[in-house]
Structures are given as structure tokens and as C-alpha cells.
Amino acid sequence: MSDQIPESWREVLEPVLATPEARQLGGFLKAQEAAEQQIYPPRGQRLRALELTPLDEVKVVILGQDPYHGPGQAHGLCFSVPEGVKVPPSLDNIYKELNDDLGVTIPGHGNLEHWARQGVLLLNNSLTVEAHKAGSHAKMGWSAITDAVVSAVADRAEPSVFILWGSHAQGKAARIPELANADRHLILKSVHPSPLSAYRGFFGSKPFSQANTFLQKNGREPIRW
């Protein structure tokens, strides 16, 4: 897997990739593919978040749980789907909050690559999932790798924003000392944008304007959400 890691992330991730957990993950994925199990996103898109958002360009981190597990949905960015795919309910609520917060016109698609290219790291905790089985790869070794990604961002001198929607994202951040003890970053928490919880505190939380205000205050370009 190390040869697939984008150059800007290689130094911080290579030590993790040498651990038993990462080797177990690599073996597991090979075995799943050999057994012709359908895995999302497809090979070549699993590290897309790291490819589009180099470490030295990260301004905002948004944490998701695992990829969408339906056909054609997952393409390596949390909450995002390729153009032409129906916008999922959670992303629909994210768009509604964005419109209310900043007046941004709701797009007619769910592709968030334009966020990623501006420095928004759209990172799932697990970067693969078996088709139609949410959480199926959650305990297969991805957490060690994605923890290292978040730690690498939190350990940088540049002030960044961590947007943590839901208990899963907040729990992940709490396991990372560099983030939990950092006072130079902005950490925004709310309930998840899922239709099951969005009305309990996600709507009205204004994460996008808060993120941009913080970035500008610290001399960084705001995100064109």
C-alpha cells in the first residue's frame, strides 16, 4: 500500500504502514478481492482524499465514518458522491445548512472535489467498505492509518479547522492527543447531518462561516464553499 500513498503524506504514514495492523489490512483487502467481494470505493480511488488535499495544503478536516456502500456512490471523499449520482440525505442536509449559513446556492450534484482541492480534507475513518454492509471494514486496520492522518494535520503549526459531526467523529478526535490538546486549531462539534439527528443541533450550527472566519483571522485563505 505504501507505493499508493501520495508524496506529501508519505513521510508521516510510512511508519504506520509498517505496523501489523496495516499489513493485516493489506492482506484482508487482497483476500476480499481474490474472493471477488465487491469493495467500495474501487481500487485507485481509496486514497482520493489524500491525493486531492496534500498535507501542507490542509485548512479544514471533515471526518466521516466509512464510505457509502451502494453502487457508484463512494469515490474516496467523505459525504461526497460523483456527479450524476443522487445526493445522499446527509449531504442534502449539509447543503441546506451551507445555504442558510452563507447563502451558497445548493448545487445540483454531490461532488465535493472542489472543496478538497481548496484544502478541505474529506476523510473517512475507514477508507473501504463491502457492498451493502455499512461498517464492514471498520475494524480491519484503517483507523491506525486515518488516526495518523489527523494527527499529522493537528501537529502542524498552521491553524486548521476540524469539523466533527456526530459522536463517531468526535470520539475519533478524542483518541488523538495532538488534537485533543491543541489550542491553535478550531474544533467545531455538532450532531451528525443525518435526517435522524440534523434537527437536534446540526441545523443552525453555522460551521462554514465559523471555519472561514477562523481561517481569515489566522491569515489563511477562506474556503469557497
Q: Please state the rounded mean pLDDT for residues 170-181.
A: 72
Of 32, 33, 67, which is closest to residue 48 (Cα–Cα)?
67
Strands 120-124 and 60-64: parallel
Q: Please state the rounded mean pLDDT for residues 110-125.
A: 97
In this structure, what C-alpha cell is assigned to residue 49?
482524499
* Tens digits of residue pLDDT in 124-149: 999 999 999 988 998 898 999 999 99
Instruction: Reply yes or no on whether 56 is catalytic.
Output: no
Domains and CATH numbers, the chain: 7-217 (3.40.470.10)
pLDDT reported for residue 178:
62
Mention every residue, 6+ apart, whose C-beta is less than 8 A from residue 92: none
Whether the predicted pLDDT of 73 surpasses 70: yes
Q: Please state the rounded mean pLDDT for residues 166-187.
A: 78
Which of 3, 56, 66, 155 does the annotation list as catalytic?
66
Instruction: Write the CA distances from 18 to 2, 135, 144, 187, integer angstroms.
Output: 9, 24, 11, 30
Whether the predicted pLDDT of 46 surpasses 70: yes
% of the chain residues with pLDDT over 90: 76
Beta strands in the chain (DSSP E): 39-40, 60-64, 120-124, 129-130, 161-165, 186-190
Confidence (pTM):
0.94
Task: Supply the angle between the helices 20-34 and 142-154 in degrees, to the nearest 10.
Answer: 130
* Tens digits of residue pLDDT in 54-63: 999 999 999 9
> Residue 31 burial (CB < 10 Å; 0-12/13-18/19+)?
exposed
CA angle 212, 9, 36 (to 5 degrees): 110
pLDDT band of residue 181 (cuts 50, 70, 90) is low
pLDDT reported for residue 182:
63
Task: Name which residue leads in pLDDT, 23 or 111.
Answer: 111
